[in-house]
Amino acid sequence: MADYSKMWTDLGLDLSGHDALLGVLGGAYADIFLSQKNRPEGMKYFDFVMSEVHGLRIQELMDAKAQGRKVIGSYCVFVPEELILAVDGVSVGLCAGAEFNFEGAETVLPRNTCSLIKSAFGFKLGKVCPYLEASDVVVGENTCDGKKKSYEMLAPLVKDLYVMDMPQMKSPSGKALLKEEYNKFAAKLEAVSGKKITAESLKKGIEIVNAKRTAVKRLTELRAADPAPISGLDALLVNQVFFYDDPVRFTDAVNKLCDELVDRVKKGKGVFVAKTPRILVSGCPMAVPNWKLPMLIESSGAVIVGEESCVGERGARWMTEAKADTVDGLLELLTERYFNIDCAIFTPNPSRVDYVKEMAKKLAAAGVIHYSLQFCQPYIMESGPVEKNLEKSGIPTLRLETDYSQEDAGQLKTRIEAFVERLQK
């Protein structure tokens, strides 16, 4: 990697903390990803992206900023990248996947806060997330109570925090609220960028994001093959890079990877032997570099064939129809698309479990591991009924609740191994 210290210093990063973070990250990446056997060649692109995740990509963001483009950082799949692209902005997911500086985060947040939120604060207070520091606007969203209230504490720490309200029920008024919020967000983006959103620019944004989602959807479908042509860890990584990379280049890389996987499937080549127990993971998002659970699962004799998660199917699933000629018409269609997302903040949320079943069937998963982050009320609350429903439908389910720490790895491994043993019978 080139020397980026000047760029990092200019961004206001704490170099020693940042070096420590990159050191741990690089080591973990080598241990978890590079040590895997039979990886597709196409993963080399993603290895490169990860090796430059705080380097070259940030340089690109700085170059974009120098050209007058705005960088918009966010933490949620409800923030439409289409609108950001419509003002020629750059959309980036912000760091929230590592146990970094939790003691710092706990000076402003209660200890009983989920790891994802704590991580976002740990990165901010430790000054180690270049994406956050490079963002012209940070977008918050009223999804769960934890995030909603934590934005009150985040506001004074960042340059420009913009909070979007969120509906909690799939009702006509809920949908109207979402559309109104997207309207306001569009106006905010126009004000920040000084560019007007036109039907043409929005259509182009929709096209780019649709293409990106179509590529990821293709990847998902290829994972239905036995033997699985790609590991769950690598597929998760693709879904994680989804939030950081240049969308057009990313789409191209995913399609190239898929071309290779098509060939693998044809030849019956996989990452693990055929008949390896297949697991679908469902639940909370796994932000980079949260690879804890997938690593435990895939080192316990199973392969992950899908993620029913925001970083995964729930984030990439639906397309936006661009069949309108006015900005308002397109916004309506965009709202239509995002209102489908069956996040656990909605009540009731029956379509989620139905879709978990559908995914399990399509991907020939033998069982589901439901993953909740500790203190994530919406997903923990939903996990009980989801487990009951799945077991009743004959889908073995293991419910796990964990955080970003490594201290429960032993207990988790025991449970995962026992679950895999159950699936093998």
Positions touching another protein (CB under 8 A) are 391, 401-402, 407-408, 410-411, 414-415, 417-418, 421-422, 425
- Minimum CB distance to another protein smaller for 310 or for 368: 368
- Minimum CB distance to another protein smaller for 313 or for 403: 403
- Helix locations, 194-246, DSSP H: 199-222, 232-241
- Minimum CB distance to another protein smaller for 299 or for 340: 299
- Minimum CB distance to another protein smaller for 321 or for 391: 391
- Minimum CB distance to another protein smaller for 259 or for 391: 391
Angle between helices 232-241 and 199-222 (to 10 degrees): 170
CB of 382 to another protein, least distance (A): 17
Token reading at 233: 């860890």
CB of 423 to another protein, least distance (A): 11
One DSSP character per residue, 92-157 reads EEPP-SS--SHHHHTTTS-SSS-HHHHHHHHHHHHT--HHHHH-SEEEEE-SSHHHHHHHHHHGGG
- Minimum CB distance to another protein smaller for 341 or for 420: 420
- Minimum CB distance to another protein smaller for 13 or for 360: 360
What length does the chain have? Answer: 425
Q: Residue 127's CB: how many other CB atoms inside 10 A?
A: 19
CB of 350 to another protein, least distance (A): 23
Contacts of 169 (CB under 8 A, 6+ apart): 346, 347
Interatomic CA distance for residues 192 and 89, integer angstroms? 10
CB of 143 to another protein, least distance (A): 24
Token reading at 24: 């741990």
Amino acid at site 252: D
Whether the CA torsion 228, 311, 260, 360 is positive or negative: it is positive
- Minimum CB distance to another protein smaller for 38 or for 414: 414
Q: What is the helix (H) or strand (E) element at residue 340, kind and residue range?
A: none
Token reading at 61: 């963001």
Interatomic CA distance for residues 422 and 391, integer angstroms? 13
CA distances from residue 385 to 168, 301, 354, 390 in whole angstroms, order as listed:
19, 27, 12, 9
CB of 413 to another protein, least distance (A): 8
CB of 301 to another protein, least distance (A): 10
Cα R_g (the chain), whole angstroms: 21
CB of 283 to another protein, least distance (A): 15
CB of 376 to another protein, least distance (A): 14
Interatomic CA distance for residues 121 and 107, integer angstroms? 10
CB of 372 to another protein, least distance (A): 11
- Minimum CB distance to another protein smaller for 275 or for 422: 422
Sheet bearing 90-93, strands edge to edge: 90-93, 71-74, 137-141, 161-164
